[in-house]
Homo-oligomer: A and B are copies of this chain.
């Protein structure tokens, strides 16, 4: 059993160290992680410059000058001498729920593994600050353990796990969920730089718009671990036919 561990907070983050440590129980662990924090990196890939990779053999750690997706991509296309049995990403400092999932570098690292047909799981703690990180690592261990028991009967999975920052014994259980939805983001924050020119900070994420029972927002707010199975097909299949009706056809040269 060989497990690839990555994240988006960078290789120094407490979260990835706790996750790598928890995964060692299951077999060989290789860590391939960014050299600095890439929160909000989404699935970005570095296409216009080369990456550098620093190997630290003692911890079987590779530090990459790129994004979370870059890390898993180079690991699976040549850096590792074999395909791993599992990719895990995290433990992220902060939630990756609802629409935010699309912006998450942690989830992107897992998506990258899944694109290479490797079962992949993203782990996030919903509150920042690393409170109850040991509990989160133990939850990650439990999720992986249950997946390993089940894996012969199920397709490669892509799971998005969000964990409340609660002691292990207080967590109520694990819920399989759908992603919730958020309201639109808060306004941009305009400030003046010390040099006298305006600067803009992106506003906060919007409040939950769909946080009903069944969503990731609901589960974590009620003391459960949220596990959302993900898929990566962005096609709106139900719209293809309708779009074809109003849009498709010849390109009539109206202006001629």
Contact = CB atoms under 8 A, between A and B. Distances in A.
Given A147-B247, A200-B50, A250-B173, A184 B116 contact: yes
Contact of A237 (B42, B139, B178, B251): B178
Interface string A138-157: 11001101110110011001
Contacts of A42: 41-45, 69, 108
Contacts of A187: 77-78
A193 B116 contact: no
A236 B114 CA distance: 13
A169 interface: yes
A5 interface: no
A225 interface: yes
A52 interface: yes
Given A43-B42, A45-B103, A115-B99, A234 B230 contact: yes
Given A44-B41, A50-B191, A77 B203 contact: yes
A175 B244 contact: yes
Interface of A: 37, 39-48, 50-53, 67, 69-70, 73-74, 76-79, 99, 101-103, 105, 108, 111, 115-117, 138-139, 142-143, 145-147, 149-150, 153-154, 157-160, 168-169, 171-179, 184-188, 190-191, 193, 197-203, 225, 227-237, 239-244, 246-255
A248 B202 contact: no
A243 B159 contact: yes
Contacts of A67: 44
B248 A186 contact: no
